Amino acid sequence: MFTVEGNALVFSRRGETVRICAQGQDALRVCATPFPVMDQTDWALEGAPVLPARITVGEAGASVANGRIRCDVSPLGQLRFFKDGAPVLCEYYRMYEYDMPHTPSLRLLAREFVPARGGDYRLTARFEACEGEKLFGMGQYQQSCLDLKGCLLELAQRNSQASVPFVLSSRGYGFFWNDPAVGHVHFAKNVTEWVGESVKKLDYWVTVGDTPKQLLQNYTALVGRAPEFPENALGLWQCKLRYRTQDEVLSVAREYHRRGIPLDVIVIDFFHWTRQGDWRFDEKYWPDPAAMVKELKSYGTRCMVSVWPTVDKKSENFAEMNERGLLIRPEHGCQCFDFLGDSYIYDATSPEARRYIWEKCRQNYYGSGIDMFWLDEAEPEYTVYDFANYRYHSGTALQTANIYPVCHAKAFYEGQKAAGQKDICNLIRCAWAGSQKYGAVLWSGDIQGNFETLRDQFAAGLNVGLAGIPWWTTDIGGFFVDVTAPGHKELLLRWFEWATFCPVLRMHGDKGPSTIPPLDERDWGGGFCHTGLPNEIWSYGEEVGAVLEKYVRLRLSMKPYLKQLMREASENGSPLMRTMFYEFPEDEACWACEDQYMFGSRYLVAPVLYAGMTARSVYFPAGEWKNIFTGETVCGPLRAEVPAPQDVIPVFEKL
């Protein structure tokens, strides 16, 4: 039953073949398939070498060990994982053949392959649930739960949802589901269950460590880490829906310059182009992009443009891309996306399609000096998220859709790198495992402007960092916003104060009510689409503007520290926004802190997440902590009520 093949333990039973090998520090990878030959696709673990492992085979089963982790395999194929000899993770197995303390008559296998229409399999992988266990990571979901125990999460990409299936456990292990298939995971009280709707094999990876930092370091060493973040993007990013003309962009940049407020990046949003898929400026409203970029650079401001993956059937590039097979193919129907056009979506999983879109953007944007790209709609967004209806170069959407945002980021990163650019930093609306190595700043999508949504973003930002994505941002104040609504200014202040202590400080949003008429009557091009109200920091009155400017200058004063944090992300995978237990894993109270965090190792940040709140409770771990605004100090461990007037976010420096 058990054999050793190279550095791997392999066993077969009842039509299933399982392979366990060592990959990474204190880590093991498990693959299983009902097919005669194991699929060799490595997905996010591509390039990770197989290491020598300690493999033992005996009458009572077999074991594979790598450093501090060991996997024991029972005679009937159940897997149990140990850290330094102590159990941390066990497959859920309920079969009458095996002597165990649970009901055997259920006849439930830990690895269940059910034939799916089309010849492949629907996979369910089950693991024992452990009382008191806390789980974190998994990417970005629109919910306020920081601890994911008890949560049901879709393994699929949507606008504002980024599924990155690495989970970090309070029991001292990290688990990565290395499969881009659409599915779900349920971290239930009685069982953990991973499901892939259409797969060729099971593929997961487990690592162990004493601290969350060790686990994240082990994981990112294999799937990749962010490059060095450019210093000239650490300050304020200015955006709105949407700057419609070259003159509008320059007038905003000139006003920032006149006011003496440094502006690192200004963003040109969608429909600056002619049609979706043309990937070029509408010359009527953008007559000289090169001159615009030159003036912006004179103010110390970089220019970013929005690039959608959608290709309108009327686009100048549609016929060629369709003929060459560079588009995602619907199995039924004749489009993928119907917002402001009848569009298909380019297939980022195709190397040829990636080269095609970069070449268009190189000619039409990069050649004018624009070196930052906003990769919107990068899930990609469909009019209907019917994943069974789309086929990619990499396979069916059900099997491979979650890999799309990684491939899309790769298209631009590799193109810019080949062009000689060093300071690559692009904005993207979705991510999967490994996206971070392609210079991508994930933002949390088109979200509502209210305090409930703010609380969702707080949890999302911390969990996506624990999933290996350190560069992250939100639309300050929310995307869908009525600026005349009661309480909006309070929301904007609280959101901006918190964003000052996020990886990227970025103004954006569709600020309504939308009362600005279009520039012309064409149903295409840069003038027909609507725009939102002004969204610059002076747009909300002198009192609010003064507070926002104060925090911009605070952010700028922190640039040396921000550079240090970004360097740590590149070197060991640490996020900038860190859950309290990331820095204080021995403090049990920190594992229960769900409304405050550490910004790096130095600053404790306790944002105000509820309307009308002017004071809040803060937990201080052991040590001395100084209020950065008042200079007052407190000594932990201690929980205390601290003042939080509308213009102040409670932040404390660890002394």
- For 140-150, what is each residue's pLDDT tens digit? 999 999 999 99
Task: Using alpha carbons, select from 176, 145, 235, 248 the residue that is nearest to residue 23.
Answer: 176
| Helix orientation angle between 351-364 and 404-418, rounded to the nearest 10 degrees | 50
Query: How many of the other CB atoms lie within 10 Å of CB of 230?
Result: 20
**Which of the residues 72, 379, 456, 510 is marked catalytic?**
379
* DSSP-derived pairing of the beta strands 505-507 and 472-473: unpaired
Cis ω before 380 (30° cut-off from 0) = yes
pLDDT at 134: 98
Q: What token pair was written down for 358?
A: 């970069």
Q: Is 379 known to be catalytic?
A: yes
Distance CA(445)–CA(465), nearest Å, equals 16
CA gap 84, 86 in Å, rounded:
6
| Helix-, strand-, coil-residue percentages of the chain, each rounded to 5 | 25, 30, 45
Element (DSSP H or E) covering residue 326: none
With a CB cutoff of 8 Å and minimum separation 6, the contacts of 552 are 235, 236, 261, 262, 500, 505, 537
Whole-angstrom CA distances from 649 to 349, 374, 541, 561, 613 are: 43, 29, 20, 19, 11
Q: Which domains does the chain have, with CATH numbers?
A: 2-223 (2.60.40.1760), 230-307+475-574 (3.20.20.80), 309-354+374-424 (no CATH), 579-654 (2.60.40.1180)
Which residues, including other chains, have CB under 8 Å from residue 286's CB and lie 6 or more apart?
Answer: 245, 246, 272, 292, 526
Q: Which of 149, 147, 152 is nearest to 163 (CA)?
A: 152
Report which secondary-structure segment, H or E, holds 466.
helix 451-466
Instruction: Specify whether 510 is catalytic.
Output: no
Separation of CA 601 from chain center: 22
Check if the beta carbon of residue 517 is closer than 8 Å to that of residue 494: no
Q: C-alpha angle with apex 42: 39 to 45, nearest 5 degrees?
A: 155
> Within 10 Å of residue 269's Cβ, how many Cβ atoms?
21
Task: Give residues with Cβ within 8 angstroms of 51, minimum separation 6.
Answer: 7, 21, 22, 23, 24, 66
pLDDT tens per residue across span 62-111 = 999 999 999 999 998 999 999 999 999 999 988 755 445 566 677 788 99
> What pLDDT was estimated at residue 441?
98
Determine how many CB atoms are found less than 10 A away from the CB of residue 84.
Answer: 13
What are the φ/ψ torsions at residue 567 (nearest 5 degrees)? -65, -40
Dist CA 301 CA 291 (whole Å):
13
Segments in 519-599 forming alpha helices (H): 542-557, 559-572, 580-583
Residue type, 497: E
Active site residue: 203, 282, 446, 595, which one?
Answer: 446
C-alpha 126/C-alpha 193 separation (Å) is 5
H-helix or E-strand spanning residue 490: helix 488-499
Residues 407, 411, 412, 418, CA torsion sign? positive
* Cα 164 from Cα 156, distance rounded (Å): 9
Active-site annotation holds for 423:
no
Among 500, 424, 465, 474, smallest CA distance to 228 is for 424
| Spatial distance between the Cα atoms of 163 and 154, rounded to a whole number of angstroms | 8
Query: For residue 639, what is the enclosing H or E element?
Result: strand 633-643
Residues in the chain where the model's pLDDT stays below 70: 96-104, 118
What pLDDT, on the 0 to 100 scale, is given for residue 98? 47
* Nearest-angstrom CA–CA distance, 651 and 398: 44
10 Å CB burial of residue 487 (0-12, 13-18, 19+) is exposed
Chain segment 304-330, per-residue pLDDT in tens: 999 999 999 999 999 999 999 999 999
E strand or H helix that includes residue 635: strand 633-643
Of these residues, 91, 147, 269, 376, which one is catalytic?
376
